[in-house]
Structure 1
Amino acid sequence: MKISYNWLKQFLQVEWNAEKTGELLTDLGLEVEGIETRESIKGSLAGVVVGKVLTCEQHPNADRLKVTTVDLGKEEPVQIVCGAPNVAAGQTVPVATIGTILYDDKGEGFKIKKGKIRGEESHGMICAEDELGLGSSHDGIMVLDKDLKVGTPASEVFDIEIDQVFEIGLTPNRADAMSHFGVARDLRAGLIQHGINLELISPSVSNFHVDERTLRIEVEVENKELAPRYCGISITDIEVKDSPEWIQNRLKAIGLTPKNNVVDITNYVMHELGQPLHAFDAQQVKGNKIVVKTLDEGTKFTTLDDVERELHKDDIMICDAEDNPLCIAGVFGGIGSGVTEKTSSVFLESAYFNPVSVRKTAKRHALNTDASFRFERGIDINFTEYALKRAALLLEEYAGGKIASDVMDFYPEKVEDFQVFLSYENAFRLIGQEIDKETIKNILASLEIRISSETEGGLGLTIPSYRVDVQREADIIEEILRVYGYNSINFSHKLNTSISFDSDKEVKIENIVANQLTSLGFYETMANSLTKEEYISLTENLKSEHNVEMLNPLSNDLKVMRQSLLFSGLESISYNINRQNNSLKLYEFGKTYHKYESGYQENKHLTLFVSGDRTKESWKVDNKTSDFFYVKGVVNSIFGRLGMKNLKSSPIKSDVFSEGITLSLGKKKLADVGVVKKKVLKEFGIKQEVLFVDFDWSTTLELTGNKKVKVMDLPKFPAVKRDLALLLDQKISFKEVYNLAFQSERKLLKDVDLFDVYEGKNLPEGKKSYAVSFVLQDESKTLADKQIDKIMQKLQQTFEKNLDAVLR
């Protein structure tokens, strides 16, 4: 949320600099995330001065150019080539001198340089109003008052406003601070604690009166639960035009683009007082009646952004007497009832809508507006009429309007201020020290919390309606503490701590593995368990019907619980690569979430991500790119540390891998290890190879914790290991190599393992290289070389015949 310091000073005449005020706001809980200097005219016309045209002659080489000499208040006049049709001798004009930076309507700057135009030197530029940011006209140069002194800086001639704008990270509970007036109210309370007691100046509406009762628009609210209060008023004789400059400056400072006086005034009052307003073209309100109601499911409605939307049966709508929808209440207006240049009368709305209903509607239609931001957090229901009168008076003054009806005010059940009792004992206990009782009373008074009763043990308090977040005694204590100052609370120099011994075996195992991975150069990540629903489409292994969906998601990017840790990890890989951190080794302990017919299920996983070089670049060590063999070694070292040996390798089945293996113990799968498909990486903008390991951590913990010790004789006869480097087509998988090997030799072949994959330089197009190891063993005798060679030759011939393999 942006807050203009100049605007803030309209309510509170504080003399502190912006940095000091920002520190106090942060201490009060309105965290200032940054302070930006804003100028009503970018660059503040630095380098632009008042000049006087002494001579003006036709350019010798161009029909549309003039050669002028201009007095800038220096010893010698300068020559400037000008193309404006209205330039003439004797004029007083604004001149951008050499070195001046001017800005276009997009905020991009260009520097005025000395140059030649069609052979004639030019030492500056005589400016039009659009070139200076003073207007939109480009018909000719600006002609200034002839009485202005030559050489005077233009910044002294024109009213340029320089402002500091606070970027406040507003927490959802602080609905009372969603406006400049609300922030000023809080700032005043903080200043009082610093011994500065300033008057809080609120805009006066005492001059409000009905000019003529010529346009009465009735108000009907069908459901008081959805709209507990609805105020409106008719204003005629409106002239839609540009807003006054001071309103435009206020809106521009907080990042809003001025549109016209009617719309700007509603926006101005909303950011001033926190009450959203909406102006309807009164001629579009059929039957001179406003009806607040819900419409049938699927009703079509075109909003101001020219998008046709289907309404939900619970959306609060503003309609006319003929049930024509005019506006989605509290969220967005309709294109047919908005204010245009032809508008001559308006119906001005100021209301309180049910916060929950507004929030659901905004989420359903993916509309996040300034109005919905305020309504869904809860505005002050007792401020609606005051804000309406404030806006009506501004429309009278700056749009020439006449108030043409009494205020229509639907408010059947007045909301009473909330009552809370504060115990001094509880306050001191939660704060951690005793605070003077008079100080507490002064703080409460500065927050407009009234003391309705007082006893020796505490205070009976009345909470103002705008503090919708203060409903409990603990909330009151928090208010006292934040205004008193957290930094003012004494703390002990004695540090107390407790030592606990964690007996959780699973945590111990995780810590063992985490320490091992960290020692290998891996960094732990913790990704959000919420993710995009679209990621499911990247693999056939995951099903959309198994998604655990959020009932009220914060955004479409956080709509479902993750079914795999792969995609959140690839987001981290992409984020780092985009910031030139290309060599990555990451790991994460996390859960996946699934919805099955039998119910919801959570599974524990450990995932590894490796990409780029194994080690940091150094003159001591040759850079080696991380590959499948390296990652498989890391995985084996983890299982070895957990005492799990003799793992079985089999071809991987997951379609997110281009190559890989599955490691199992007995019939239980422990991990998938492989290279992520380029098609998947492309979705994340990743162009380099990424190796991924997915441990079924629940199964790993189960087998680690309940592993039985089995004693058996060591093999009497040694096993023999042989390797083959095979050149294969890229479409061939390790699974085919694995199955063919066991089909060829069933008796003596004990294991087949893929320990390296190479796809790169010096290989024919469409080919890849597999490095495969074969373990042979005869339990009754030692294998002879002749027998081993025969088996390996048989395997080689099988691969050549069935896979067109070539031995490298």
Structure 2
Amino acid sequence: MKISYNWLKQFINIDWDAEKTGELLTDLGLEIEGIDTYESVKGGLKGIVIGEVLTCVQHPNADRLKVTTVDIGADAPVQIVCGAPNVATGQKVPVATIGTTLYTTEGEAWKIKKGKIRGEESHGMICAEDELGLGESHDGIMVLDTKLKVGTFVSKVFEIENDEIFEIGLTPNRADAMSHHGVARDLKAGLLQKEIQLELITPSVSSFHVDARSLKIDVDVQDKENAPRYCGVTITGLKVDASPSWLQHRLKSIGLSPINNIVDITNYVLHELGQPLHAFDANKITGNKIEVKTCNAGTKFTTLDDVERVLHEDDLMICDAEKPMCIAGVFGGINSGVTEGTTSIFLESAYFNPVSVRKTAKRHGLNTDASFRFERGIDPNITEYALKRAALMIVEIAGGEISSDISDTYVNKINDFEVRLSFDNAKKLIGEEIPRETIKSILTSLEIKVNNVTETGLGLTVPAYRNDVQREADIIEEILRVYGYNNVGTTEKLNASISNSKRFEDYKLQNIIGNQLASQGFYEIMANSLTTPKYMELSEQLNADYNVEMLNPLSNDLSVMRQSLLFSGLEAVCYNINRKRSDLKLFEFGKTYHQYPDKREEDKHLSLFVTGNISEERWNTVVTPSDFFYLKGTLQTILQRLGLNRLKSSPIKSDIFSEGMSFSLGKKNIVDFGLVKKSVLKHFGISQNVLFADFNWDNVLEMAKHNSIKFKPIPKYPKVRRDFALLIDNTVSFEDIYTIAKQTEKQLLKNVNLFDVYEGKNLPEGKKSYAVSFILQDEHKTLTDKQIDKIMSKLQSNFESKLGAELR
């Protein structure tokens, strides 16, 4: 939210610099995320002074140039070469002195320097309107009033707005601070704690009166639950035109574009007081009647952005006798707004139910300044006041007269909140006893009324616009933020406690594996648990009936909880690839959510994504693309780190993997992994291969708890390696060789490794060659050649009989 410091000073007469004021606002809970500058004229006309042309003669070397001497209030006149056709002796003109920075219409800066133009020295520049940013004319130089004093800065002659703009990171609960008046109210309370007592200046509406009751528009609020208060008044005989410069500057300073005087005034009051307003062209209201109601589901309505929208049965609408004209509290209609031909308006000021507005805005994907405020809850007690304020401004700026009494429908009054504050509870939560008079002073400065005072506490009435302050804890928070968190002392004693935690706590294993993956070049990602239901169509294994759906989703793309970590991870892969980061290794710890017919389930997962090359391209290394076996090796290191070694591997069939495998331990599935199908990747616009692994982290935790660590001395007898080059069928896998080898020799065979694969020329059709190494070791003695040969003969025999293998 943007707040203009100049505008803020209209409510509170503070002379602090913007940075100091920003620090106080941050301490009050209105965090200042940045302070920007606003200049109605780029550069603020710095260095531009009033000059008087003393002489003006033809340039000796150029027909279209003049050589002038100009008095700029310096010790001596300066010579300036000027090409304007209208420059003449005796004129008062704006002069850009040496060193002044001017800006082109595109905003590019350029500096005035001393120089020579066709042989004649020039010490400045006599400026035209467009060169100063004061207009668009470039027909000649600006000729100013002859009464102006030479040497006066031009910025003091013209209405130049220089402002500082606070960017406030407003939290959703602070609806009371969504205006300049609300921020000033907080600022006043903060200054009071610094013993600076300033008055909060509120615009007067005492001059409001009805000029002539010539246009009455009846108001019928049919849905009083969603429109508790609705006010309106008519104004006739006005003229729609451009707003005065001061009003345009106010809006531009906070990032709004001026439209016309009527719309600009409603926007001005919105940001001034926090009350949204809407102006209808009275001539477009059929039957001189306003009805506040819902319409039939399916009714079509075109909004101001020229988009036809289909209304929901719960959308609150502002209608005339025949048609809807505005989505209440959200967006106006294209056929009822103010145009250049408008001469009469019906001005609306209302309080709409925050929940109703929020649901309507989300349904239609709209987020306006009005809905932003209505959704969070505005002050129901300033509805009429804001209407009078806007009406008086319209009559002053656009002319016309107030032509009806104010219609104010307010059947069920919104009451203030009654809260009891205990001094003891305040001390416990704050950690320090704040003087009772200070507490009362803070609450009073926040417009919280103190009804009664006892030895134990206070009876309070909180104004209705503070809908976030309804409990005792909220009152204490208000006291503390104004008193100042930095003013609460800390004790010199430091208390600490040591909790008993198990070795296999979830967070401990996550840290272990997370650190291991990070050391292998993986980056951790955190994806949104909310996702789009469209992803369910990418896999038959996911059932849309099991989706956990949001009752009030932020958007259609974030309307269900995810059933798989795959798709949110692929979103991250796609995002990075589109930004030229194609070599990726990512991991995420997260949950999946399922709504089964008889229960809801949350399952913890660890997902890995690998794509592109394993390592960065370097001059002294060979670039190796990641593949299935790289991912498999990474998974094995994770499982080994957790002590899960006796794993069973098996191929899996899945509509998300083109080829995949699974590791299990006993009856528990540990991880599924493989190469993601091209059809799935195509949905995300990914053209390169992506490897994906999905750990069932709940099963990992359970199996890790049963793992026991055994210690044994390092064998002092040497290992022996023997190799086989086996000619086998293409259908035989290394897994088959590994299993047979382990079954053949269970004690002395320590490791089996595949170190070369050959498929190609000089091999029979349907055959391949595997080079396999075998590591043998006896932990109690040195192996003899006779023992080794016997084991290798057994291995060879079993490979030949069970796999049809041949030694090459």
Shorter-chain TM-score category? Answer: 0.7 to 0.9
CA gap 1:562/1:177 in 2 versus in 1, 3 angstroms: same
Asked if the contact 1:242/1:261 (under 8 Å) is kept, the reply is yes
**1:69 counterpart (42, 67, 70):** 67
1:718-752 Cα distance to aligned partner (Å, 9 max, x none): 99776899xxxxxxxxxxx9857699999979999
> 2:229 aligns to what?
229
Matched, 1:781 2:779: no
CA gap 1:656/1:86 in 2 versus in 1, 3 angstroms: farther
> 2:271 aligns to what?
271
CA gap 1:784/1:749 in 2 versus in 1, 3 angstroms: closer
1:45-71 Cα distance to aligned partner (Å, 9 max, x none): 33545556765879999xxx9434354
CA gap 1:204/1:650 in 2 versus in 1, 3 angstroms: same
> 2:645 aligns to what?
645
Task: Give the TM-score, by structure 2 length.
Answer: 0.82
CA gap 1:400/1:111 in 2 versus in 1, 3 angstroms: same
Q: Amino acid of the residue matched to residue 445 of structure 2?
A: S
TM-fit CA distance, 1:240: 0.8
Asked if the contact 2:56/2:69 (under 8 Å) is kept, the reply is no
TM-fit CA distance, 1:551: 1.7
TM-fit CA distance, 1:243: 1.2
> 1:426 aligns to what?
425
CA gap 1:486/1:557 in 2 versus in 1, 3 angstroms: farther
> 1:78 aligns to what?
80
TM-fit CA distance, 1:786: 10
TM-fit CA distance, 1:659: 6.0
What SS does the corresponding residue of 1:79 show, helix, strand or coil?
A: strand
Cα distance in 2 for partners of 1:59, 1:332 equals 64
Q: Amino acid of the residue matched to residue 408 of structure 1?
A: S
Q: What is the 5 A alignment of 1:478-627?
A: 478-503=477-502, 505=504, 507=506, 509-520=509-520, 522-536=522-536, 542=542, 544-572=544-572, 585-597=585-597, 599-610=599-610, 622=621, 627=626
Number of matched pairs: 760
Cα distance in 2 for partners of 1:723, 1:19 equals 78
> 2:784 aligns to what?
none
> 2:204 aligns to what?
204
What SS does the corresponding residue of 1:782 show, helix, strand or coil?
A: helix
> 2:748 aligns to what?
none
Q: What is the 5 A alignment of 1:239-318?
A: 239-318=239-318
Task: Give the TM-score, by structure 1 length.
Answer: 0.82
CA gap 1:336/1:755 in 2 versus in 1, 3 angstroms: farther
Q: What is the 5 A alignment of 1:42-441?
A: 42-50=42-50, 55=56, 66-71=64-69, 73=72, 75-81=77-83, 92-94=92-94, 101-103=101-103, 107=107, 109=109, 127-136=127-136, 142-148=142-148, 152-322=152-322, 324-441=323-440
What SS does the corresponding residue of 1:155 show, helix, strand or coil?
A: helix
Cα distance in 2 for partners of 1:374, 1:163 equals 25
CA gap 1:57/1:358 in 2 versus in 1, 3 angstroms: farther
Asked if the contact 2:294/2:314 (under 8 Å) is kept, the reply is yes
What SS does the corresponding residue of 2:376 show, helix, strand or coil?
A: coil
Q: What is the 5 A alignment of 1:624-703?
A: 627-628=626-627, 629-651=629-651, 653-654=653-654, 661-665=661-665, 669-674=669-674, 691-703=691-703
Q: Amino acid of the residue matched to residue 245 of structure 1?
A: S
Asked if the contact 2:757/2:771 (under 8 Å) is kept, the reply is no
TM-fit CA distance, 1:643: 3.1
TM-fit CA distance, 1:582: 7.4
> Unmatched 5+ residue regions in structure 1?
710-716, 726-736, 759-769, 797-808
Asked if the contact 1:453/1:460 (under 8 Å) is kept, the reply is yes
TM-fit CA distance, 1:622: 4.8
Cα distance in 1 for partners of 2:736, 2:513 equals 39
Asked if the contact 2:240/2:343 (under 8 Å) is kept, the reply is yes
Asked if the contact 1:80/1:124 (under 8 Å) is kept, the reply is no
Moved more, 661-670 or 188-197: 661-670
TM-fit CA distance, 1:511: 4.6
Cα distance in 1 for partners of 2:538, 2:278 equals 44
1:505-543 Cα distance to aligned partner (Å, 9 max, x none): 452544543454355454544333223445556656545
CA gap 1:153/1:722 in 2 versus in 1, 3 angstroms: farther
Give the CA RMSD over aligned residues.
4.4
Cα distance in 2 for partners of 1:504, 1:746 equals 33
TM-fit CA distance, 1:145: 2.4
> 1:38 aligns to what?
38
TM-fit CA distance, 1:33: 1.2
CA gap 1:665/1:427 in 2 versus in 1, 3 angstroms: closer
Q: Amino acid of the residue matched to residue 254 of structure 2?
A: I
> 2:23 aligns to what?
23
1:692-730 Cα distance to aligned partner (Å, 9 max, x none): 332122333344445799xxxxxxx999776899xxxxx
Cα distance in 2 for partners of 1:87, 1:521 equals 71
Asked if the contact 1:70/1:78 (under 8 Å) is kept, the reply is yes
CA gap 1:418/1:303 in 2 versus in 1, 3 angstroms: same
CA gap 1:494/1:325 in 2 versus in 1, 3 angstroms: same
Asked if the contact 1:80/1:121 (under 8 Å) is kept, the reply is no
1:163-212 Cα distance to aligned partner (Å, 9 max, x none): 11111111111111111001101110110000000011100011111111
TM-fit CA distance, 1:19: 1.2
> 1:12 aligns to what?
12
Cα distance in 2 for partners of 1:125, 1:674 equals 72
CA gap 1:58/1:772 in 2 versus in 1, 3 angstroms: farther
Cα distance in 1 for partners of 2:769, 2:99 equals 66
Cα distance in 2 for partners of 1:653, 1:71 equals 91
Q: Amino acid of the residue matched to residue 380 of structure 1?
A: D
What SS does the corresponding residue of 1:77 show, helix, strand or coil?
A: strand
Asked if the contact 1:35/1:164 (under 8 Å) is kept, the reply is yes
> Unmatched 5+ residue regions in structure 2?
710-719, 744-751, 759-767, 775-789
1:270-329 Cα distance to aligned partner (Å, 9 max, x none): 11011100011110111111111111001111111111111111111111122x111111
Q: Amino acid of the residue matched to residue 65 of structure 2?
A: V
Asked if the contact 2:232/2:387 (under 8 Å) is kept, the reply is yes
Q: What is the 5 A alignment of 1:721-760?
A: none
Cα distance in 2 for partners of 1:255, 1:183 equals 18
Moved more, 43-52 or 209-218: 43-52
Asked if the contact 2:81/2:117 (under 8 Å) is kept, the reply is no
Moved more, 475-484 or 409-418: 409-418
1:127-152 Cα distance to aligned partner (Å, 9 max, x none): 55345332455666543324445665
TM-fit CA distance, 1:605: 0.9
CA gap 1:498/1:141 in 2 versus in 1, 3 angstroms: same
Q: Amino acid of the residue matched to residue 632 of structure 1?
A: K
Asked if the contact 1:425/1:457 (under 8 Å) is kept, the reply is yes
Asked if the contact 1:614/1:623 (under 8 Å) is kept, the reply is no
Cα distance in 2 for partners of 1:632, 1:202 equals 70
Cα distance in 2 for partners of 1:252, 1:706 equals 67
What SS does the corresponding residue of 1:318 show, helix, strand or coil?
A: strand
TM-fit CA distance, 1:125: 6.7
CA gap 1:786/1:101 in 2 versus in 1, 3 angstroms: same
Q: Amino acid of the residue matched to residue 372 of structure 2?
A: F
